[in-house]
Structures are given as C-alpha cells and as structure tokens.
Amino acid sequence: QASRLVELPYSSFDDDDDGDAAEQDPGVWNPDPPKPSPFSHCVRYLAFLWNLLFLLLGLLTLAVGVWGLLAKSPPPGEERGVPLGSDPMLLFVLAGLGASAVSLAGCLGAVRASPCLLRFFLGALLAFGGLEVLGGLLLLLARRRLRDALRDLLLLCLLRYQEDPDLQFLVDEVQRSLQCCGLESYRDWESNPYFNCSAPGAQACGVPASCCQDPLENGSVPNVQCGFGGLGLGPAAAGAVLHVGGCGAALAAWLRGQSGAIATGATALVLVEAVGALLALRVLRDI
C-alpha cells in the first residue's frame, strides 16, 4: 500500500498549488490590453470636439424650428392656419433632430469608447452621404423637372402668400432682392384670392409692397400700400412704379450664377462628413 501511494501520478495538493498560482498571477491567463498611445487620445478628444460642435449646431437648428412652430401656433380653440405637415419650420425641426442625434452618438462613442455608438454614427454618415450623392445626381439628370418643380413651388407661394408668414417673408425677400414680381409677370398676383380684383378689401387689384420699385418712397419706413391698385394699371404705367418682370426667370438665372458657390458648399459638406467618419474609424480601430 505504501508503494502504491508513492506512485500516485498527482495529488490534491498539486491542484491547490496551481489554483493559487493562477490567482496570484492572473496576467498569465488574461493579459492586459495594450494602452492607447498619446496620438490615440488626441484623436479621441478631437472626435469628441468635432461632434460637439455639430451637436450644438443641430440643437440651434432644432430650437429655431420649435420656436417657429410655437410662434405660429393659434390660441386655444382656434384652428391652425397652416397644416403642421406642410409647415416649412418642420424641416428645421427634423434636420435639427437628425443632426443632434447623430452628433450625440459620435460624442458619446468617442468619449466612452463605445463601438456600438461609433458604428451607428458611421452608418448614419454613410446614409446621409448616399442621400446627398443621389440628390446631386437627380439634380443633374432632371434639370427640366427641377425647373418645373420650382415654378410650381413659386406658384404655391403666391397662392398661400397671406396664409403663412414664412412663405410671405420668403416671397418678399425674393421679389425685393431680384427686383421681380409674380411668377411670369406682376399679373400673376390675380390668382391670389386676396389680391384678385374681384376680392373684397383694400388689397383687391393690388400687389405686395415688395413689388414696388421704391417701397420707401423717399422715407425711412416702407409704405405697405405702395402696391395697391397695381393690377389695374397698364404695362407702361405699372412699369413706372412696379417691377413688372416675373421671378421665375430671375430666380433661375440667379441659381445658375450661384452654381459655383452651391458646388463648393456641397463639397465642403462632404469633406466635413468624411473627416468625422475618419476620426470615428480611427477611434474604433484603437478600441
């Protein structure tokens, strides 16, 4: 029996020694991951600051949209003049929400080293970039349809001029800046129910003050009644006090002149998104 005890291949004391060794030296089984380099820390902080800037811009856009919706909200008991789904300020709200959500994911993903948030951020950037490229191709391939859509939009703005303060501001700025009136000519304002010659009220058979050549009339405050009765004038008499040319051709010419600036802005936007994607990829690789 003594000889058989000596020849045992192992004992329980050996197992205890091995367990104690593993507990005393866990690095043998679970080696520590390599520490990120100072350059990796700089990239992570830069990615955080980069996304923080666009997070603030997104929140600002969202605040502008919400403020615009609240400013036009009717008193209790009254119906909303413009449907919420067709309100232009809704675009600011949606753009602000999208930019804020994506930028927040980039900020948290960079500062907390979260692969899930960084992948979401990269996926959103790729989706936005694909939509931008697709939109640019559609603009190049469908220029004629774009002009028709622009004409329809201007006509809709003329019809709803008195109903939406945002559209009213937009139409006035276009007519004042481009020195035009109406879509094809100043006679297009006859299609507006408030400026039509058969409509009741002081604005009947008139045009907005932004159509006037001299809305100030040698004063410091614009005369909002300078366009009253403009539709009742002949072409020669109207040309002496109003901008009789339409805004459709003037706006198309202005857009052609600004094509270089538009292309530069689109390129800058793509580069900004590319820089954010590269920073996120570097942080994700370090993680």
Domain boundaries, the chain: 39-69+88-156+260-286, 162-254
Tell me, what's the pLDDT at 114? Answer: 87
Q: In which band, very low, low, confident or very high, does the pLDDT at 103 lie, cut at 50, 70 and 90?
A: very high
Angular region, 223: left φ>0, alpha ψ -120 to 50, beta rest: beta
Q: In which band, very low, low, confident or very high, does the pLDDT at 33 lie, cut at 50, 70 and 90?
A: low
Task: Kindly tell me if the per-residue pLDDT of 144 is higher than 80.
Answer: no
Across 73-102, average pLDDT: 73
Tell me, what's the pLDDT at 52? Answer: 92
Please compute Rg for the chain using Cα positions: 33
User: Whole-angstrom Cα distance, residue 246 to residue 249?
Assistant: 7
Let me know if domain 162-254 sits in CATH 1.10.3470: no
Residues in Cβ contact with 113 at an 8 Å cutoff, skipping those fewer than 6 apart = 44, 283, 287
Task: Kindly tell me if the per-residue pLDDT of 77 is higher than 70.
Answer: no
The b/e string for 7-17 (b: 16+ C-beta within 10 A; e otherwise) is eeeeeeeeeee
pTM for the predicted model, two decimal places: 0.66
Nearest to 283 by CA among 123, 126, 119, 130: 119
